[in-house]
């Protein structure tokens, strides 16, 4: 596996490194660690006295970011290469992901470009929308919960996988199972359903409404069974739930109830020249999820 990891030295990036180290504990994985610093422009004003070497300061900062992020990865057996790039982080990470043969891109949910009105950092959001491969966005837990989740037989790593029965959704499950290296894992398969719009002006009778609901629920359980066949082949703990309601809200509520450590989402494609785009449900869930999110694109 070849992983691209964007770091800015923030606690979110370091949390992503710790999360990845526990996610693939057997090591032996290649990690291309990239730190992006801004382009330094020379001042047009005449300086009286010795001006600080801003470029040198950024180089030193990038070296510190790379070293701090690489430390937990190397301690778990990852093969880490470090490099510094110059430019806009959101743009550079997406460009490197497109140029390289990476199986996965890892970013922290927030970074040094945070704004109080964004629930996801600009770099993470741009990577989610434009990276051509799978993206793991790690959301750091609250301080009181950071050390609480250590996967074990009694407290397994909780993964929530929504499915809608579409090919991109099933592809996400297959690729996640191929990537995962978590020794103690419990999978929660969920699917959302709503009553179909009949187009009638008058409300349906209780009996007709109940029949429609039963039909929608049967279709939802059929989707779950199809997804469960992929998971059960790996002999993992599996729970299935059909949720009635709007998909985004239902998925987020299920993640809270399951105390999920990770949500795995399938996506139809990437936003490139308005041809393909990250699905609206996947993007909304990724932006508001209470835990880390893995978005897997259909190739």
Q: Are both 180 and 256 inside the same structural domain?
A: yes
| d(C-alpha 270, C-alpha 204), whole Å | 40
DSSP string, 234-255: TT-EEEEEEEES-HHHHHHHHH
Q: Among the three residues 83, 115, 140, which one is the final residue of a domain in this structure? A: 140
What is the mean pLDDT of the segment spanning 203-208?
75
Q: Are both 133 and 204 inside the same structural domain?
A: no
Kindly report the CATH number assigned to the domain that includes residue 33: 3.40.50.620
Pairing assessment for the beta strands 134-138 and 157-162 based on DSSP bridges: unpaired
- Please check whether residue 298 lies inside any domain of the structure: no
Number of domains in the chain: 2
Q: What is the pLDDT of residue 33?
A: 94
What is the mean pLDDT of the segment spanning 165-176?
88
- Please check whether residue 215 lies inside any domain of the structure: yes
pLDDT band at residue 118 using 50, 70 and 90 as cut-offs: very low
The model's pLDDT over 45-72, given as tens digits with 9 standing for 90+, comes to 555 555 567 788 889 999 999 999 999 9
pLDDT band at residue 274 using 50, 70 and 90 as cut-offs: very low
Q: Are both 126 and 155 inside the same structural domain?
A: no
Q: Are both 120 and 153 inside the same structural domain?
A: no
- Please check whether residue 100 lies inside any domain of the structure: yes
Q: Name the pTM for this structure.
A: 0.83
Could you tell me the residue range of the domain that residue 29 belongs to? 1-38+57-140
Q: Among the three residues 79, 108, 140, which one is the final residue of a domain in this structure? A: 140
Q: What is the pLDDT of residue 90?
A: 80
Q: Above 60 in pLDDT, residue 249?
A: yes
Q: What is the pLDDT of residue 294?
A: 92
Q: Are both 22 and 133 inside the same structural domain?
A: yes
Q: Above 80 in pLDDT, residue 75?
A: yes
- Please check whether residue 44 lies inside any domain of the structure: no
- Please check whether residue 43 lies inside any domain of the structure: no
Q: 124 or 204: which carries more pLDDT confidence?
A: 124
Q: 47 or 158: which carries more pLDDT confidence?
A: 158
Q: Are both 27 and 94 inside the same structural domain?
A: yes
CA neighbor of 158 nearest in space, from 243, 252, 263: 263
């Amino acid at each position: 596996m070849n992983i691209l990891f964007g770091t800015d030295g923030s606690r979110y990036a370091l949390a992503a490194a710790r999360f990845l180290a526990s996610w693939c504990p057997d090591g032996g994985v290649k990690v291309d660690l990239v730190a992006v610093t801004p382009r330094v422009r020379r001042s047009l004003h005449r300086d009286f006295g010795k001006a600080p070497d801003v470029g040198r300061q950024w180089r030193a900062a990038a070296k510190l970011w790379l070293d701090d992020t690489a430390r937990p990865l190397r301690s778990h057996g990852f093969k880490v290469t470090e490099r510094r790039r110059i430019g806009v982080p959101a743009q550079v990470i997406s460009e490197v992901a497109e140029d390289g043969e990476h199986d996965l891109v890892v970013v922290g949910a927030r970074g040094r470009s945070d704004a109080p009105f964004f629930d996801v950092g600009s770099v993470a959001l741009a990577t989610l929308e434009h990276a051509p491969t799978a993206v793991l966005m790690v959301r750091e837990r609250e301080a009181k919960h950071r050390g609480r989740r250590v996967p074990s037989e009694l407290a397994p790593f909780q993964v929530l996988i929504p499915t809608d029965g579409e090919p991109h959704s099933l592809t996400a499950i297959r690729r996640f199972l191929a990537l995962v290296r978590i020794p103690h894992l419990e999978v929660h398969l969920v699917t959302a359903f709503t009553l179909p719009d009949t187009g009638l002006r008058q409300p349906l009778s209780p009996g007709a409404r109940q029949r429609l609901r039963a039909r929608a629920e049967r279709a939802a359980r059929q989707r779950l069974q199809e997804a469960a066949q992929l998971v059960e082949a790996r002999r993992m703990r599996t729970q299935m739930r059909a949720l009635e309601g709007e998909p985004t809200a239902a998925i987020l509520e299920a993640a809270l109830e399951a105390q999920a450590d990770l949500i795995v989402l399938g996506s139809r494609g990437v936003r490139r020249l308005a041809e393909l785009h990250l699905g609206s449900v996947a993007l909304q869930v990724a932006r508001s999820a209470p835990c880390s999110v893995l978005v897997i694109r259909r190739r």
